[in-house]
Amino acid sequence: MIGYGFMGAAHSVGWRQAPRMFDLPVDVEMAVVVGRNADAVATAARRWGWAESASDWREVIARDDIDIVDIVTPGDSHAEIAIAALQAGKHVLVEKPLANTVAEAEAMADAAAAADDGVRAMVGFTYRRVPAVTLLRDLIAAGKVGRVQEVRASYRQDWLVDPETPLAWRLQKEHAGSGALGDIGAHIIDMTQFVTGQSVAAVSGTVETIVTQRPLLGAGSGLSGTAAEGYGEVTVDDVALFTGRLDGGALVSFEATRFATGRKNALAIEVSGDKGALRFELEDLNTLQFYDRTAPAELQGFTRILVTESAHPYVAAWWPAGHVLGYEHGFVHQAKDLVEAIAGGTAPHPSFAEGLAVQRVLDAVEQSAADDSRWVRIEAHQPASA
């Protein structure tokens, strides 16, 4: 695993728990975690259960005993590391969003397509693997809501409301690519496409930076920016609001913000169809709300489904019904699915091509916002080998 911050902790839980809770077809060894600060990454290795630590990712991906490279670094290094790992014949998992730019994402998708037969690549849109979200997708595919007519998707947080919150890497474009749009907006774009089985075909949107300067983290932070009395410039968006149209014709409203006061991690999606509707909220992640429009009038109304039955996706490996799961379980399911795909010789999802599709939507939103919110169509990628 390359990187060891917040996502490093989450991915480590996934790798540690997946072989213990699921009957995987092969053994998994947490071999080495990589970071630039040798002391800090050694501490992370001990804490999270990695056999060793290292500070040079190039040396690690060249090792014969490494089969999978898991990339949890900031977005500005995703392309370089992932392409090198694929060319070295390693399977690759990259935390979302796939890259910082469309060009980088295209190069990564092309590298995955050109990799040796049997080499797999996956992007970490982990919320797909929350059991309630997978169930929501399955119910839509089974026709429970009928024809999808409208989608509302939002991801709201408030961790930047305080203007004295320091200038972290997520607030600088050269490191993060974009702000709320790419950080959390990528999740709701992917989730919309995942659960509906449709692609976002066009978007119209706007973005806003509410706090334009923040306190610098100090010397040695690795961040850039012109300091003004101890402050640096915020070069990404704080809020992104945009409308999309699916290729099936339905409209989608998207909201991604890190300025929704009082909202901590409020991802929500509601899919409305001519036969019913489904709603999921991450802050109540063990439940799904279902409205059946075909039921008798006296029985109509949103029904709460507790997604903890053994018949529900992933749940049979865990606890008795009603004994709820949490945020970290999605990362366990992610590790399980990747290992099973590699061992079974199948393509894991979401693929780099799917990650590129999300990147194209993000780019289209930025284009629209820069041009008076005009509608921008999303074009399909033509692989380099085509």
pLDDT at 114 over 80: yes
Closest CA to 240 of 152, 155, 125, 126: 155
CATH number of 6-127: 3.40.50.720
pLDDT single digits (tens) 138-182: 999 999 999 999 999 999 999 999 999 999 999 999 999 999 999
Query: What architecture does CATH give domain 131-284+286-325?
Result: 2-Layer Sandwich (3.30)
pLDDT at 115 over 90: yes
What is the C-alpha to C-alpha distance for residues 54 and 42, in angstroms, rounded to an integer? 8
Which residue spans of the chain are classified as CATH 3.30.360.10? 131-284+286-325
Q: Which pLDDT value is given to residue 384?
A: 66
Q: Which pLDDT value is given to residue 218?
A: 66
Which residue spans of the chain are classified as CATH 3.40.50.720? 6-127
Which one is predicted more confidently, 226 or 178?
178
Pairing of strands 376-377, 200-208: antiparallel
**Average pLDDT, rounded, for the chain:** 95
pLDDT single digits (tens) 262-303: 999 999 999 999 999 999 999 999 999 999 999 999 999 999
Using DSSP's 3-state secondary structure scheme, residue 273 falls into strand
Q: Which pLDDT value is given to residue 220?
A: 42
Place of tokens 């399977």: 91
Q: Which pLDDT value is given to residue 223?
A: 47
Q: Which pLDDT value is given to residue 381?
A: 72
Pairing of strands 239-246, 251-257: antiparallel
Q: Which pLDDT value is given to residue 191?
A: 98
The angle that helices 102-114 and 352-369 make with each other, rounded to 10 degrees, is: 170
Q: Which pLDDT value is given to residue 385?
A: 54
pLDDT single digits (tens) 335-352: 999 999 999 999 999 999
First-to-last CA distance in the chain? Answer: 32
pTM: 0.95
pLDDT at 224 over 80: no
C-alpha pair distances (Å), 57 with each of 50, 90, 166, 201, 207: 15, 13, 28, 37, 35
Q: How confident is the model at residue 379 (pLDDT cuts 50, 70, 90)?
A: confident
The amino acid at 96? K
pLDDT single digits (tens) 304-363: 999 999 999 999 999 999 999 999 999 999 999 999 999 999 999 999 999 999 999 999
